[in-house]
Amino acid sequence: MISRRQLWGLLALTLMWGVNWPMMKLSLQELTPLYFRASTMFLGALCLFAYMATRGERMRPTGKELLTIAWLGVPNILGWHTLSIFGVQELASGRAAILGFTMPIFTVLIGAAFFGERITPRVRVAVIAAAIAVGLLLWHELQRLTGRPAGIAWMLGAAISWAVGTLMFRRAHLTLSALVVTVWMLLLGSLAVWVLALALEPVPSVSAFTPAMWVSLAYGVLVNYGAAQLIWFGMARDLPPATSAMSVMAIPLVGTLSATLIVGEVPHWQDWFAMGFVMLAIASVLWPARTRPAAATAQ
């Protein structure tokens, strides 16, 4: 049974990560994608590192553990966070969120293809539903002369990268806690993104930032990479799978609805239908199956 504290934490987490999508879009109006990602990720990781260190967590990796963490960070951090920010730049933020959260479907498919995990009827339903969702969004982008079908490719690449990283993380043998490993991945990943930003993008003029820009940057550092991570890892081990699934499904919905208020994006009918199909797909692969009651023993 989920406690009242977990319920409020889950609600806060869904709102935080949902609102983060239009907040990223807002930031990209004044800052280039790689500089935005590098700065918010690095500062957020530093805040998390300081918080965890003050709580007495062991922060130092042992032996070759740092190399393993760096390898895990390639798909989980560089792949997901870098590709997704380019996707948000190209697409409406709600649409990007819908595509990004096809990740659970790709996790199941890749697990079946490379790790021998079983394809169930539920997975087939998920694949069909996700394909319909992607088709709806791609159709809308190709209908318009100003459409951005490349953004769909960025977001699908990000979702696949996140799925690969999730499977790698499950099979990694690490002695540090999951949150500490995540902090190290964020720190190492942000350094790599800084290198890319310095090499590929012009240096931003910080003095020209508007108050809205500073608010969106603070949100990225303190909420997306800070408070939300602490809430998630504080609850993840104790949450029932069905509850986790419902939270994941609600994030694109919150992102789409909040985008209208934050950046003035009006969802199209394709977005609503695509969201519904993605939620159906995620429910198909994450919702736990009912266990049949054992037969009564004859007396």
The answer to whether position 275 is within a domain reads yes
109-146 pLDDT, tens digit each: 898 888 887 778 887 888 888 888 888 887 777 765 45
Task: Label residue 299 by pLDDT band (50, 70, 90).
Answer: very low
Domains held by the chain: number? 1
The percent of residues in the chain predicted with pLDDT above 70, rounded, is: 88
CA separation for the pair 119, 284 (Å, rounded)? 12
Quick one: three-class SS letters along the chain? CCCHHHHHHHHHHHHHHHHHHHHHHHHCCCCCHHHHHHHHHHHHHHHHHHHHHHCCCCCCCCCCHHHHHHHHHHHHHHHHHHHHHHHHHHCCHHHHHHHHCCHHHHHHHHHHHHHCCCCCHHHHHHHHHHHHHHHHHHHHHHHCCCCCHHHHHHHHHHHHHHHHHHHHHHHCCCCCCHHHHHHHHHHHHHHHHHHHHHHHCCCCCHHHCCHHHHHHHHHHHHHHHHHHHHHHHHHCCCCCHHHHHHHHHHHHHHHHHHHHHHCCCCCCHHHHHHHHHHHHHHHHHHCCCCCCCCCCCCC
The answer to whether position 242 is within a domain reads yes
Tokens of 258: 């909040």
What would the mean pLDDT of 88-92 be, rounded to a whole number?
A: 91
Entry pTM: 0.85
Angle at 128 between CA 292 and CA 272, to 5 degrees: 105
> For position 143, what pLDDT does the model report?
67
CA separation for the pair 74, 186 (Å, rounded)? 10
Q: How far from chain centre, in Å, is Cα 225?
A: 11
> For position 148, what pLDDT does the model report?
73
The answer to whether position 292 is within a domain reads no
CA separation for the pair 96, 117 (Å, rounded)? 28
Tokens of 26: 């807002």
148-190 pLDDT, tens digit each: 788 889 999 999 999 999 899 988 989 999 899 999 999 999 9
Tokens of 195: 């290198």
Task: Label residue 106 by pLDDT band (50, 70, 90).
Answer: confident
The answer to whether position 294 is within a domain reads no
Say which residue, 296 or 192, is predicted with more confidence.
Answer: 192
The answer to whether position 280 is within a domain reads yes
> For position 292, what pLDDT does the model report?
53
pLDDT for 215 beyond 50? yes
The answer to whether position 295 is within a domain reads no
* Selection from 5-14, 30-39, 97-106 with the highest mean pLDDT: 30-39
Asked if 295 and 258 count as a contact pair (C-beta separation under 8 A), the reply is no
The answer to whether position 262 is within a domain reads yes
219-263 pLDDT, tens digit each: 999 999 999 988 888 776 566 655 666 667 788 889 888 999 999
> For position 290, what pLDDT does the model report?
65
Tokens of 34: 């790689």
The answer to whether position 296 is within a domain reads no
The residue range of the domain holding 128 is 4-286
- Give how far Cα 137 sits from Cα of 24, 133, 191, 218, Å: 20, 6, 33, 31
71-82 pLDDT, tens digit each: 999 999 999 999
If phi > 0 it is left, if psi is from -120 to 50 it is alpha, else beta; for residue 56 that is: left
